[in-house]
């Protein structure tokens, strides 16, 4: 049990191992309520980088004065591992929506996959997914997408520092990626399929690290929720 919870006003960094199906907002809300119940203080709390509901792994939550560090931490490099599925697509580019637009994968070989992966290094242009939290005309992209409304999306330049293929078991590709701010891994998966002349979507994703922060950092467990592990940096 953590002592002196009132110190959260001065600023704490919490490392949350986000489970599948939870939104980042829901986790922040849960932590805020737990601290409020313990301290009777309504503290300012935020997270430093959204994870999609169907992604897992590291979510950094900041409290009190440390919420000023959100922009700084969001600029750090991020590391993910995940699985791309070839041969079909989904509207959300991940496992949130059903598969459709099935395509042949008979021409795809491990050699071709590794060759194409080299094209996803350095600065690349990508379009954000239709199912994303970006806004246009006061509404989130996903609000339009869920109503079947198409919107104009502007491409954006992002930086990929490392992109390794860890395992190939067609139609599945397990990968490791280190990328800069603003990179959509769902778009990487979709574009990877196009480069292979096939459909593709992001089947699973785990955020392993943000800057020097990871679930392996020196930390102690914070008893906030039974549903997900939450750790307080020493």
Burial tier of 42 (Cβ tally within 10 Å: 0-12, 13-18, 19+): exposed
Q: Are 53 and 186 in contact (CB under 8 A)?
A: no
Catalytic residue among 17, 52, 125, 191: 52
Peptide bond into 171 cis (omega under 30): yes
The answer for residues whose C-beta is within 8 angstroms of residue 144's C-beta and 6 or more apart is: 130, 136, 150, 151
Instruction: Identify whether 52 is a catalytic site residue.
Output: yes
Question: How far, in Å, CA of 83 to CA of 189, rounded?
Answer: 9
Residues with catalytic roles: 52
């Amino acid at each position: 049990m953590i002592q002196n919870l009132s110190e959260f006003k001065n600023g704490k960094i919490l490392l949350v191992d986000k489970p599948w199906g939870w939104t980042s907002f829901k986790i922040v809300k849960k932590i805020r309520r737990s601290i409020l119940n313990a301290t009777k203080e309504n503290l300012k709390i935020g997270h430093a980088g959204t994870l999609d509901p169907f992604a897992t792994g590291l979510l950094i939550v900041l409290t009190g004065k440390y919420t000023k560090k959100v922009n700084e931490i969001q600029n750090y490099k991020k590391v993910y591992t995940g699985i791309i599925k070839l041969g079909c697509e989904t509207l959300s580019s991940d496992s949130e929506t059903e598969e459709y637009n099935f395509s042949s994968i008979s021409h795809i070989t491990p050699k071709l996959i590794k060759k194409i992966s080299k094209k996803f290094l350095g600065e690349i242009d990508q379009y954000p997914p239709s199912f994303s939290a970006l806004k246009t005309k006061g509404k989130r992209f996903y609000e339009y997408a869920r109503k079947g409304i198409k919107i104009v999306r502007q491409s954006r330049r992002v930086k990929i520092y490392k992109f390794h293929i860890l395992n190939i078991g067609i139609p599945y590709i397990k990968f490791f990626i280190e990328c800069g701010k603003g990179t959509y891994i769902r778009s990487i998966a979709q574009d990877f399929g196009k480069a292979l002349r096939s459909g593709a979507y992001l089947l699973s994703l785990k955020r392993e690290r943000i800057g020097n922060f990871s679930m392996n950092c020196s930390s102690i467990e914070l008893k906030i929720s039974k549903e997900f592990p939450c750790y307080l940096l020493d």
